[in-house]
Amino acid sequence: MSIFQRIFESAPDAIVVTDREGRMVRVNAEAEKLFGYSQEELLGRTVELLVPERLRAVHIEKRQSEPARHYAREFGSGMELYARRKDGSEFPADIMLSPLEAEGEWLAVGVVRDVTARKQAEERLRSSEENLRLLVEGIKDYALFRLDVEGKVASWNAAAEGINGYGADEIIGKPFSLFYVPEDIRVGKPAQHLQEAATLGRVEDEGWRVRKDGSRFWANGIITALKDEGGQLRGFAQVTRDFTERKRAEEALILEITNVLVSKLDIAGLLGAISASLTRVKPHDYANLALREPGTGQLRLMPLAHPHEKDLIHQGVLVPIKGSPAGLAFSSGKPVVLNHPGTHRFSPEVMGRLVRAEVKSACFLPLSGGGHALGTLNVYSHNEADFTQEDVELLSRVASQVALAMDNALAFRQIAELKDKLAEQKHYLEEELRTEALFDDIIGESIVLKKILKQVEMVAGTDTTVLILGETGTGKELIARAIHKLSARRENAFVKLNCAAIPVGLLESELFGYEKGAFTGASSQKKGRLDLAHRGTLFLDEVGEIPLELQPKLLRVLQEQEFERLGGTRTVPVDVRLITATNRNLPQMVAEGRFRDDLYYRFKVFPVTVPPLRDRREDIPALVRHFVTKHAARMNKRIETIPPEAMNVLGQWHWPGNVRELGNFLERAVILTRGPILQIPLAELRLEAATEAPRTTTLEASERDTILRVLHETRGVVGGPLGAAVRLGVKRTTLTAKMRRLGIRRGGLWQHIAT
C-alpha cells in the first residue's frame, strides 16, 4: 500500500471521491463509519445518496450546472450544510471539496466532518449570552459594567445608567475614574483598586462616588479581574450598589448613639448605655469591655449590662494581652474576628472560656481615646460566622464613640477621686501658684530651666550670697529678681548695677557713693547703690569687670556689712543681700591673678548656672510667642500666626546672644510685619549661618571672632538700631565693655578685622 493510500485510509475525517457524474468511486473507512453504509453499498451510487431528500434536487441542479472549478470549497465557508446517514437521520456537516484530475479523468474529493457538537456548543453559547444579557439588563439595583485593561468602560447596563447618570453612548470608552470623588482621584485610588484587583483577583470598597450631575452617593463597589486560561488579564468586571440610604441610616444611628454615650459621665451608667447601643447595631449574646490594667500586661474584663452570669463576663477577670484575641486587637489597633474559634491559635485558657460560654463567633474591637489605647470592646454570639464585614465596620464606628465616652468617664472618675485629695493640698497648691506667679517673666518649661528655678526656690528664703553664671543674654537678671521676690526682703528695694557698663573710674563712687567735695564736681553728698539697697537686695552684674583695687572694699561689705563713702571717714552700716552675676571664667581669672580668690569664694557660696538658649531649645516656641505678643501689643499690631517654617528655623538657630538676642530679633520682626502673619527675616539667620566662621576652642576667642565679624558687617557701628549691639542682642554698654576686655579697639577695628 502506497503512502497516499495509507493517508487516505487513516484520515480522521470521512473522504468521498466522486467522478464527473457524481458517482462515488472511492470512500475511506471513516466515511463508512460516519454514514453507516458499507463500501459496497456506496461505490457506484451518486453522492446524493448522502444528502437529505429535501435537499437532493437542489444539490443535483447545483452539481450539474456549475463548472468543475467551482467545486472547490474550503472548510468553514459559511453555508450551513447537512448530510444523511443510512438510517435516515440528518446531521450538520462541514464539507471541503477539491477538484482532482488523474490520468486524464476528472474527480472530486470531498472531506466531510460532523459538526453536531460544535453546533450545539454554539447554540448553548448564544442562549447563554442572551440569557446573560437579559439578566444584566433586568437588574435594576446593580450597576454592572465591564472595563478594559486600562480601566475604560467597555460595556454598560441600564442600572449603571440609572445609578451613575451616564448613557452608554456617553461613557463607553471613558475612564471609570469619572465615578470617583476628586479627593480619591488625588490619592490615586482608582488605579490602586485596579492594581489590587489584578493582583488579588477581586477587591471590594465602600466610599463616596460621584454622578454625572456632580451629586455624591455612597457606593459599595466590587471589581473582579477577568483573565483568560493562560492567566492573561483581559479586563475587569465592576458591580456597584447605591448604599446611600443605608449610609444615612447608619449615620443617624451613630449620631444618636454618640449623643447617648457622651452624656454618661459615670461608669455604671455608661456601661448600660453601651449595652443598649450595641443591641441596636448588632444582635448578640454577650458583650464586655477589656480595659488595660497598667503595669500588668493584662486586660481586665468589665461586663456590660446583661441578665446572664457566665465565666466570660465575670467582673474583674484578667486576660493576657499576649495570646488572647482581645490582646491582639488591643496591640494591633485593628478588629479581630473569630467566626470559627476552633481554627485560631490563642491561649487554651482564653479559648476555653469562650467554649464554656458556648461562644461560636466573636468580634474584638480596639478602643483608643486621648491618644492612647484604652482596651477593647468585645461582642460574642452563639451563632457561627455571625460577623460580616459590614458588621465589623459598623461596630468599629460604635467602638470609636465608646472609646471617646469611656475616656471622658474615666477622666470624670479620676476627677471625682482626686477631689478630696485636692482639697487637702489646697494650701500647698496656693503656695505653688504664688511661686509660679513670681516666675511669670521667666518663660519656659524645659527640665533644665525647672531645675534652676527649683534651686532659686531653695536659696531665696536665706540671705546667702548667690553667684549667677551664664552667657550674655541668658536672663541672669530675671533669676536675680526672682530670688529677691521669693525672699523676705521682697518688700524692699532691688537695686542693680552693671559693673561693665560703668567706667572704671566711676564704678567705686557708683557703688559706695561719695561725700561732698570728694572730687571736683562733687557739690553734694550722693548715696551709692549700697545705700539704696539697704534691707533689700543688691544685684551686681558682670562682676568679672570689677577692678582689682576695688575688690577688697567689696569684700569688706560682705564680711562686715559696712562701708565708707568715697571721700568720707564715717563707717556706714548696711544690711544688704548680695546677688552677683557674670559670664566670665572667674576661676581662670583667679588663677591669672586678675580676681581675688577670697572674694570669688564669698561670691560662689551658692552658684546658679543659667543654661544658654541652645541648651533649652524646647523653650524657644514659648519665648517666641511671648515676645511677639509683647511687642505686638506695644506697637498696637495684631499678629495671629507664626509660620511653622519660621518657628522651625528659630528653634534650630544657636542664638549666641541667647534670650536677649531672640527678643531683639523678634522685635525687629514685629516692626517689619504688615498683616496678621509674622514676617521673620529668616534670611539674616541663614546668611549668618552660611558665613559663620568655624568655632574656636575657647569662649573668649569665639566671642572675639563673633564681635569682629558683626562689627565688620555694621562697618564699625556699635550702637543704634543698625549697630552691632542690636545684631548681637546685647546692650551697647555691655558690648563696649566686652570689646575693651577682648582688646578690640574701635580705632584699630579694621586692622583687627584684616588680621
pLDDT at 77: 64
Chain position carrying cell 457561627: 384
Q: How far apart are CA 107 and CA 555, in angstroms?
A: 143
Residues of the chain with CATH 3.30.450.20: 3-116, 139-242
> Which pLDDT tens digit goes with each residue over 200-252?
988 988 889 999 899 988 888 889 999 888 889 989 988 888 887 777 777 77
Sheet hosting strand 372-381, strand order edge to edge: 318-320, 298-303, 286-293, 372-381, 361-369, 336-338
pLDDT at 696: 42
Fold classification of 139-242 (topology level): Beta-Lactamase (3.30.450)
Across the chain, mean pLDDT equals 82
Q: Which grid coordinates are listed for 409?
A: 468617664
> Which pLDDT tens digit goes with each residue over 334-382?
999 988 766 667 888 878 888 888 888 899 999 887 678 889 988 888 8
pLDDT at 141: 63
Q: How many CB atoms lie within 10 A of CB 607?
A: 14
Chain position carrying cell 497648691: 429
Question: Rounded to the nearest 5°, which phi and psi values hold at 406?
Answer: -65, -40
User: Strands 536-541 and 576-582, how do they pair?
Assistant: parallel
pLDDT at 315: 55
More confident residue, 641 or 701: 641
pLDDT at 587: 92
Chain position carrying cell 443535483: 60
Q: Does the domain spanning 250-419 belong to CATH 3.40.50.410?
A: no
Q: How far apart are CA 420 and CA 649, in angstroms?
A: 46
Q: Which residues contact 632 (CB under 8 A, 6 or more apart)?
A: 638, 639, 670
Average pLDDT over every residue of 261-280:
74
| pLDDT range class, residue 195, cuts 50, 70, 90 | very high
pLDDT at 751: 38
pLDDT at 434: 45
142 by Cβ neighbours in 10 Å (0-12 / 13-18 / 19+) ranks as middle
Highest mean pLDDT (candidates 178-187, 236-245, 641-650): 178-187
pLDDT at 1: 57
| Contact assessment for residue 518 and residue 568, using Cβ atoms and an 8 Å cutoff | yes
Least-confidence region, from 179-183, 186-190, 526-530: 526-530
> Which pLDDT tens digit goes with each residue over 695-727?
444 566 667 777 887 887 777 888 877 788 877
Residues of the chain with CATH 3.40.50.300: 443-609
Question: Rounded to the nearest 5°, which phi and psi values hold at 101?
Answer: -115, 120
H helix intervals, 357-446: 389-424, 426-438
Name the β-bridge partners of 665.
Answer: none
* C-alpha distance from residue 625 to each of 21, 321, 439, 475, 629 (Å): 113, 44, 17, 17, 6
| Contact assessment for residue 341 and residue 359, using Cβ atoms and an 8 Å cutoff | yes
Fold classification of 443-609 (topology level): Rossmann fold (3.40.50)
Residues of the chain with CATH 3.30.450.40: 250-419
The answer on pLDDT for 36 being more than 90 is: yes
Q: How long, in residues, is the chain?
A: 755
More confident residue, 331 or 311: 331
> Which pLDDT tens digit goes with each residue over 578-599?
999 999 999 999 998 999 999 9
The conformation of residue 180, written as its DSSP 8-state character, comes to: B
CATH of domain 3-116: 3.30.450.20
